[in-house]
Amino acid sequence: MKLAVIGAGWAGLAAALSLQDRGAHVTVFEAAPLPGGRARGVDDIHMGNIDNGQHLMLGAYTETIKLIESLHPGQNIDQRLVREPLHLESADGTFRLHAPRLPAPFNTLVALLFTKGLPTSDRVLALRMMVSCRLGGWQARPGETAARLLSRYQQSTLLSRKLWSPLCLAALNTPLDSSCAQLFLNVLRDSLDAHREASDLLIPRLDLTELWPAAASRALTMRYRHLVRKVQAKPTHVEIDGEVFDGCVVATPPYAAARILFDQAEVTASVMRASADMRTPEQESEISLFRMLGAFNYRAIATLTLELESDWRLPRSMMMLDENHSRGHVGQWVFNRIGHNKQITVVISDSSDFLKQDRARFVSDIASQVREQTARHPQCKAPMPDVRYQRLIVEKRATFDATPDLARPANRSPWPRITLAGDWTDTGYPAVLEGAVRSGRSAAAVLLRQLGSSSARE
């Protein structure tokens, strides 16, 4: 069977490997000159291999971990990822939440109960919310935002600011007052209420392309620098820019999927032609997918990689930063770059509003934010050295806006020979790596199932 995958991000590569494992001949079309999509390595002239964006993974990313292991047989996963128990600590040391090595959910409950930097009343409130959510099956109310969920459980402003807001922004890249409570609860459920290791923090030791997309692409037939313009579904095959395949997985972002799957003029004509009750079910589902793809909004993430004049390490691999927008202190997380003792990265989530500012000022304010806050940490051995090189990478459409009531398409499309993959499909997760990998595997399985049944029919 001759199949194609469009897009070599984590979803597309996961789909392509699944299809190939089941005996298909797979060609991957990718517009860029390398694999990885929104999670890829970048070659910096001064700093060597850095990433387009600092990525954090969780022990709950089971499918991703399995995929990395399967591509590197005989190698311990610890050679590719640093694994640490859940530990959230502010750069100045005033806030700390640490999960002891206890069976779940006691590890996270103890972590909450002994959080440093929160009054006892707040720790009890946080604990009570976790227990109630667990008893309620981690169900939010329909259309509820994370902010409303927190107010329903009477979480204080301090608790929201110190704990829930940074966690929500890190997981959903959407602020509390507009983010989907159900997606937030799904992340809490699968990381804090699963097996003990699910809440572990995993930080890549290698750049994101080397982590596994490079090995995946060596095992596949890749067509780089091919921006697919048109996919046409026919009863017996699909045509990708005129080339014939038995079927394909479209694993591009939604805006690109809309462009290559639909002719805007045709969709408009078919909407105009028939009133809703006169449309065929096929027309109806095409229009519905077209609308869903167009309904996504996006949020930016900026990552600032700093190379310092001399070796310097944060007291922990990853620390939280306090924000003060009036001083340009807009970073939320700072990371040691593993294996590069002079390099750190700062993450600025939901960064669209800050990007209109002067870049040089933006960077120097963030460097001051890290320097000032770490200087107050009791275990910080020396002040942060001067910055030698810096690289600010802004991904303008880093994630979709994870609002309540956002309708996300399934892997199935209106055409049996085409399935959809990507972190934006209906994975139950926000836009995260594990969602991308799971959707890729699932889109591959759905495609094979549908092709099996369609060839049986022919």
Ligand X SMILES: Cc1cc2nc3c(=O)[nH]c(=O)nc-3n(C[C@H](O)[C@H](O)[C@H](O)COP(=O)(O)OP(=O)(O)OC[C@H]3O[C@@H](n4cnc5c(N)ncnc54)[C@H](O)[C@@H]3O)c2cc1C
Q: Which of residues 105-164 bind ligand X (CB under 6 A)?
A: none
- Site for ligand X (CB under 6 A): which residue of 395, 414, 426, 454? 395
Window contacting ligand X (CB under 6 A); options: 29-37, 65-73, 119-127, 367-375: 29-37
- Site for ligand X (CB under 6 A): which residue of 399, 411, 419, 450? 399
The least CB distance from residue 348 to ligand X, in Å, is: 9
Residue pair 127/165 in contact by the 8 Å Cβ criterion = no
Window contacting ligand X (CB under 6 A); options: 7-15, 74-82, 338-346, 400-408: 7-15
Q: Is 6 an interacting residue with respect to ligand X (CB under 6 A)? A: yes
Q: Is 351 an interacting residue with respect to ligand X (CB under 6 A)? A: no
| Cα atoms in the Cβ-side hemisphere of radius 13 Å centred on 202 | 24
The least CB distance from residue 161 to ligand X, in Å, is: 21
Beta-bridged to residue 50, according to DSSP, are 42
Closer to ligand X by Cβ: residue 66 or 116: 66
Closer to ligand X by Cβ: residue 118 or 301: 301
The least CB distance from residue 265 to ligand X, in Å, is: 19
- Site for ligand X (CB under 6 A): which residue of 365, 422, 438, 451? 422
Region of residue 83 (phi > 0: left; psi between -120 and 50: alpha; otherwise: beta): beta
Strands 387-400, 343-349: parallel, antiparallel or unpaired by DSSP? unpaired
Q: Is 37 an interacting residue with respect to ligand X (CB under 6 A)? A: yes
Q: Is 38 an interacting residue with respect to ligand X (CB under 6 A)? A: yes
Closer to ligand X by Cβ: residue 9 or 166: 9
CA distances from 120 to 88, 117, 438, 442 (A): 18, 9, 39, 44
Three-state DSSP string of the chain: CEEEEECCEHHHHHHHHHHHHCCCEEEEECCCCCCECCCCEEEECCCEEEECCCCCEECCCHHHHHHHHHHCCCCCHHHCEEEECCEEEECCCCCEEECCCCCCCHHHHHHHHCCECCCHHHHHHHHHHHHHHHHCCCCCCCCCEHHHHHHHCCCCHHHHHHHHHHHHHHHHCCCHHHCEHHHHHHHHHHHHCCCHHHHCEEEECCCHHHHCHHHHHHHCEEECCCCCCCEEECCCCEEECCEEECEEEECCCHHHHHHHHCCHHHHHHHHHHCCHHHCCHHHHHHHHHHHHHHCCCEEEEEEEEEEECCCCCCCCCEEECCCEHHHCECCCEEEECCCCCCEEEEEEECCHHHHHCCHHHHHHHHHHHHHHHHHCCCCCCCCCCCEEEEEEEEEEEEEECCCCCCCCCCCECCCCCEEECCCCCCCCCCCCHHHHHHHHHHHHHHHHHHHHHHHHHC
- Site for ligand X (CB under 6 A): which residue of 3, 5, 18, 29? 29
Window contacting ligand X (CB under 6 A); options: 6-14, 76-84, 193-201, 271-279: 6-14
Interface size with ligand X, residues (CB under 6 A): 36
Q: Which of residues 357-386 bind ligand X (CB under 6 A)?
A: none
The least CB distance from residue 441 to ligand X, in Å, is: 12
Closer to ligand X by Cβ: residue 109 or 398: 398
Closer to ligand X by Cβ: residue 129 or 251: 251
Q: Is 260 an interacting residue with respect to ligand X (CB under 6 A)? A: yes
Structure tokens at 440: 């890729």
- Site for ligand X (CB under 6 A): which residue of 252, 351, 411, 427? 252
Q: Is 41 an interacting residue with respect to ligand X (CB under 6 A)? A: no
- Site for ligand X (CB under 6 A): which residue of 423, 427, 442, 444? 423
Q: Is 204 an interacting residue with respect to ligand X (CB under 6 A)? A: no
Closer to ligand X by Cβ: residue 26 or 380: 26
The edge-to-edge listing of strands for the beta sheet with 57-58 is: 57-58, 201-204, 81-84
The least CB distance from residue 4 to ligand X, in Å, is: 10
- Site for ligand X (CB under 6 A): which residue of 1, 32, 274, 445? 32
The least CB distance from residue 302 to ligand X, in Å, is: 7
CA distances from 377 to 111, 290, 355 (A): 20, 51, 29
Q: Which of residues 54-73 bind ligand X (CB under 6 A)?
A: 55-57
x/- contact string, 290-329, with ligand X (CB under 6 A)? Answer: -----------x-x--------------------------
Closer to ligand X by Cβ: residue 149 or 443: 443
The least CB distance from residue 153 to ligand X, in Å, is: 26
**Which parts of this chain interact with ligand X (CB under 6 A)?**
6-12, 29-32, 37-39, 53, 55-57, 227-228, 251-253, 256, 260, 301, 303, 395, 398-399, 422-423, 431-433, 436
